[in-house]
Amino acid sequence: MPAAYEVTATRKRPQDFDRLVGQDFVVSTLENAIKERRIAHAYLFSGPRGVGKTSSARLLAKALNCESGPTPHPCGTCDSCQAIAQSKSVDVIEIDGASNTSVNDIRAIKEEVMYPPQSSRYKIYIIDEVHMLSTSAFNALLKTIEEPPEYIIFIFATTELQKVPATIRSRCQQFRFHLIGQDLIMSCLRSAAEDIGVEADEDALFWIARESTGSMRDAYTLFDQVAAFSGDHITLQKIREKLSVAGFGAIASIMRDAISGDRAATLDGLSELFSSGVSADQIIKDTADFLRTMMLYKAGIRRTDILGSALSDIPEDIVDALSEEQIEAALKAFLNLYRDIRYSLSPRFEIELLFLRLSSLPSMVSASELVRKLEDLKKGVADGSIVMKAPRESIKVLQVPKTEEQQAPAEMPAPQQPATVENPPMPEAPVEEDEDDGFAEEPEKPFSLSLGDLGAIAEALRKMGKAAAARYISNIERIDEDDGAFTFVTSKALAYNSLKNDEKSLEKAIAAAFGEDPAIRLRLEEKESGDSVFSPRMRELKAVFGGNLIRTGKEENKPEEEDAAEHEPVRNAEDNGLYTEPDEDD
């Protein structure tokens, strides 16, 4: 980088309307007005900071005072053009409204305007941040812009249009400037990087563009900052390291841990962020950004300039796991935290607490969701798709012996069992009526449960206030059907243990969702360990005691190390001495 480095915002300041980016409407209106010599005596440029208001004011001054003008395309070479470009024109007076707010300053202007321009066509006053003027200053100004001398032109600029008195506004030709689109900022940054001969990764420029939130000036300022420490190659990695930002991926990962209820991993992830130097403010800000992107994506927005993220960075699993209302609630919580954080004893504690609370997010039900569900229920009852049944307590009592009976090895030849190890069961197949134990009520049609029903079960659990169970039900990987009883199989120990603790609720939820109450069992199955080659009794034992089922007679079927590590809460079979022999029928 050259020693005398000109800041990019200055270097890239447009010298021609054609170079003014992102304000096409303003540009074409001004150009036409100049072409047709419809020149007003007072202009008011309003809009966010850094989008080109002052640049436009200078361009307009140039266009009006160019020796070959007034022209929409000032020559840039005449004395007037050059003087304005160097801010040296005696006839173009720039005043910062923020520091010249008094009525005396305006009186000085009032007197000055009596003298015609020295060397130009017009005497032009550019007053920036005009809303900062005092009321009396405005009143003094008003007299001047009501009846200005022919050669006087005022160009006012403001970020806060509503603070400019209506009496002033109504006497000005108004132009509203808009935030500049992310794509446009990206392409300007690309060209800025080319200008200084620096390679810049797209994702790095994307980040800068997003951070600048539509302000070209902010984008260039940030670009300079990044370029200063990036050497000849600007990368997102360098930005993250040097500017200590959390990054989308890091937030996504912590968020994923938080909503799946893994508190240890959540706190670990946060701790890593803090120790890499990311400030509490930044974490809250980055998380709010992340949640906003989720919210917009969920609402169907796919334009990356609005999302503030590349589509490939969107974590679909998190989007799917949360409803719109849940994402909104989380975003609100982080925005509130940002507001309150300066009063906090420990920002870090607040952040940790909030992330842990996110674990209850998936089970949060909003009022509108409840109303919708009630409507569905009403409709279902009305059109007969939901059939209400009387509670069948007596049958429930009878089901207990059934479960025990089925545990008896002799009862369970289960010839189709091994087939279900690798292949999903065929729940469509009617329950075989080979067993009449007097309590299996004759169903009108065979009742079956498939993975597709988990959503409805989760809903029912949620309605019962069983948030944890509702969350973990999604970890069920297979439902085995066996003589009208259903075995919910998961390889996730955490999910298994939690659901096992709440087995009664699970049965109630299925009854509520489908009006059926089949016997439900839960099974923890090691991935690829082939538990189902063991008898149901063994599997029941495993369900009660935990651990893994291992063949000790024939070939050792030892679980893989990493598998064992994955299921921490379940103690290893070797630890608790639970060695098991497969049954003779296996």
The residues binding Zn ion (CB under 5 A) are 66, 74-75, 78, 81
CB of 62 to Zn ion, least distance (A): 7
CB of 153 to Zn ion, least distance (A): 16
Residues in the chain, how many? 586
Q: 459 φ, ψ to 5°?
A: -60, -50
Output 16 or 516, the one with its CB closest to Zn ion.
16
Output 51 or 63, the one with its CB closest to Zn ion.
63
CB of 67 to Zn ion, least distance (A): 5
CB of 79 to Zn ion, least distance (A): 8
- The region that residue 483 occupies, defined by phi over 0 for left and psi between -120 and 50 for alpha, beta otherwise, is left
CB of 66 to Zn ion, least distance (A): 3
Output 75 or 319, the one with its CB closest to Zn ion.
75
- The region that residue 148 occupies, defined by phi over 0 for left and psi between -120 and 50 for alpha, beta otherwise, is beta
If one counts every other C-beta atom within 10 angstroms of the C-beta of residue 14, the result is 17
CB of 75 to Zn ion, least distance (A): 4
Output 74 or 214, the one with its CB closest to Zn ion.
74
CB of 84 to Zn ion, least distance (A): 9
Output 122 or 534, the one with its CB closest to Zn ion.
122
Output 66 or 278, the one with its CB closest to Zn ion.
66
SS3 522: strand
Q: Cα separations (Å) of 499 from 204, 266, 459?
A: 45, 22, 15
Nearest to 448 by CA among 397, 495, 514: 514
Output 74 or 315, the one with its CB closest to Zn ion.
74
Residue type, 230: S
Q: Let me know the angle formed at the C-alpha of 446 by 542 and 505, rounded to the nearest 5 degrees.
A: 45
Output 85 or 142, the one with its CB closest to Zn ion.
85
Output 66 or 245, the one with its CB closest to Zn ion.
66
Residue 173 and residue 140 in contact, taking contact as beta carbons nearer than 8 Å = no
Residue 34 and residue 62 in contact, taking contact as beta carbons nearer than 8 Å = no
CB of 89 to Zn ion, least distance (A): 11
d(CA 531, CA 541): 12
In the chain, the N- to C-terminal Cα span, in Å, equals 75
If one counts every other C-beta atom within 10 angstroms of the C-beta of residue 408, the result is 11
d(CA 445, CA 430): 8
Q: Cα separations (Å) of 22 from 180, 185, 426?
A: 5, 9, 59
If one counts every other C-beta atom within 10 angstroms of the C-beta of residue 350, the result is 17
CB of 9 to Zn ion, least distance (A): 23
d(CA 132, CA 112): 21
CB-based contacts of 103: which residues, under 8 Å, 6+ apart?
134, 136, 137, 139, 140
Sheet holding 42-46, edge to edge: 92-96, 123-128, 152-158, 42-46, 173-176
Would strands 478-482 and 485-490 be described as parallel, antiparallel, or unpaired? antiparallel
Most distant CA pair in the chain, distance: 113
Residue type, 112: E
Chain centroid, CA 387 distance in Å: 40
Question: Position of tokens 């994506």?
Answer: 297
CB-based contacts of 194: which residues, under 8 Å, 6+ apart?
none
Output 66 or 461, the one with its CB closest to Zn ion.
66
Output 70 or 315, the one with its CB closest to Zn ion.
70
Nearest to 340 by CA among 538, 349, 416: 349
CB of 74 to Zn ion, least distance (A): 5
Q: Which run of H or of E encompasses 240?
A: helix 236-243
Output 59 or 130, the one with its CB closest to Zn ion.
59
Chain centroid, CA 176 distance in Å: 29
Output 65 or 326, the one with its CB closest to Zn ion.
65
Q: 138 φ, ψ to 5°?
A: -60, -45
CB of 77 to Zn ion, least distance (A): 6
Output 78 or 243, the one with its CB closest to Zn ion.
78
CB of 207 to Zn ion, least distance (A): 39
Output 75 or 184, the one with its CB closest to Zn ion.
75
Nearest to 315 by CA among 358, 373, 251: 251
Chain centroid, CA 577 distance in Å: 48
